[in-house]
Structure 1
Amino acid sequence: MELATQSKALINAALELDGGAKYRGLLGEAVKEIGDAFEPEQEKHPRKHLGASLIGRECTRFLWLSWRWAFWKKFDARMLRLFNRGHLEEARWIALVRAAGFHTVHLDNGKQIRISGAGGHYGGSLDGMIFGCPEVPNEWGLLEFKTFSLKTFLKLVKDGVQTSKHEHYVQCQQYMAKHNLSFALYCAVCKDNDEIHLEIIRADRINAGLYEARATTVVSAVAAPTKCSASPLYQTCKWCDAYSVCHENQPIMKTCRSCQHVLVCDNGVWWCGHKNKILTAEEQFAACETYILSSMFR
């Protein structure tokens, strides 16, 4: 674990210098910026792409079922508030690092900076890029912001990102590789007490290549990947959103993505072989009267 102690000290010193006055001014600007750029997935259907934030998960079958829309966990009000808090935390971090004198970029023509792969079916959005970290001077790096409960935050502080939050580590490696960056400044805050943890993650191109290849494997799969465990009592399985369709044989959600007629094409396209047309996300979610469950799910 490589702590970003100098960067953390600069952030704290900037706040203490004027009681947070500069930070508060920058926060107002940052909130407007992320509000304009934020494009949440429509509540009408699940996420369209296989996300880089998920690609480090243990189970390849979960990734495939999720991307194929075999299930959909709709979030309640509490979870929606929780996600919104994480989104707003991005503005706080942007204001904090700017107040400390760092240069940041988090938009590309008014939109979030993105990556894409696996024929346009895989991707993700960067929180931003940063220049001026004393730990890695004269280089642009990735910015990644995360929020934690006290229990998980203490584990992060003790063990570091790679060990305690492997999914986050993999996600950062994907972004760094796609944008040719050599490091990431990983910024974490504890929601219980507002303690912060800053860590430098160095680029690992081997790791990035392995997980980008995993995304391609998921997208090109012609059969359901093997479960990470045959036991429904396995820890990862017990808390998995795909548990009911994977271990309890509940029906697959009826969408075009699980239909025998659908073809996965380049540029993120889903093609209906029966109607000979490109399917919109809304059409995919609705399915039609000619739906036949794909043999991949039987």
Structure 2
Amino acid sequence: MIALACLLLPFGALAGWAAYGLTDTGRYVRTMAPLAADPAVRDVVADTVREELADELGPPLRGPLGPFVRDAARSFTMTDAFRAGWDAANRVTHTAVLHAVREGDSGRPITVDIAPVAAEVRRELLDDRVPLADRIPVPHTEVAVLPAAEADRLREGYDVLEVAAFWLPLAAFLLAVAGITLAGCRRRAVTATALGTALGGALLGLAVAVGRRLTLAGLPATPHRPAAGAVYDALTATLRTASWLLLALGLTVAATTWLTTRPHRNPLTPPAPRPTETQT
């Protein structure tokens, strides 16, 4: 029972992080907000703007004008308007994805309306008294975030996560309590549970590190990997903290149990004499 509880613990922490930690829109926006100042993220945004404009306006922006457009986009990423648009984009995207996985119909892609993002950028520019900012259009344009096939897989995975996030931690706790209660030596059972908890925390931290490596290795564009790494680190910060807490808690309880079970001898008390055999 104790071994099974320690095995379920990291999976329960992972499921709880995905089902509860990533589904809070406010927390998600606050987590992603500092990335607006990350140089790697700014470079990706500038490159994306240049590529999109080049696709729309043709070869001139792929030639000598390309670097100027990228520099202009890079300068914009350092403004308050960009940070406002970044937060608005993350908020509307997260809300749309969350609504789709919870209440959306199967077979339909996940889309977002970019009008709130454009409105937030225009408002920030108006506050900064940028000329002609009032003429920035706010179109209601639907942009696809995930195709229908991936959206359906996300919905199925979310349903499984909601169940696992509740039952896995509960099952791990009940199994640990039952194992300690039924053990012949409860102190040893507590020590084993604590060491298993520490091992589960270490495995969870290792899984986060391996997941980061696999995520970045699967990206086709090498220049975008630093930005993807920054996003991954921001999203998994809570999970890494949980792994360290499990490791520290398990080792602390194991050490405390071991120290309290060691035999103590009073140094002022002489050792008991050994019985001698009587010679006949």
* TM-score where L is the length of structure 1: 0.25
Query: Would you tell me which structure has more helix in proportion to its own residues?
Result: 2
Higher relative contact order (CA 8 A, sep 6+): 2
* TM-score where L is the length of structure 2: 0.26
Larger Rg: 2
Query: Would you tell me which structure has more strand in proportion to its own residues?
Result: 1
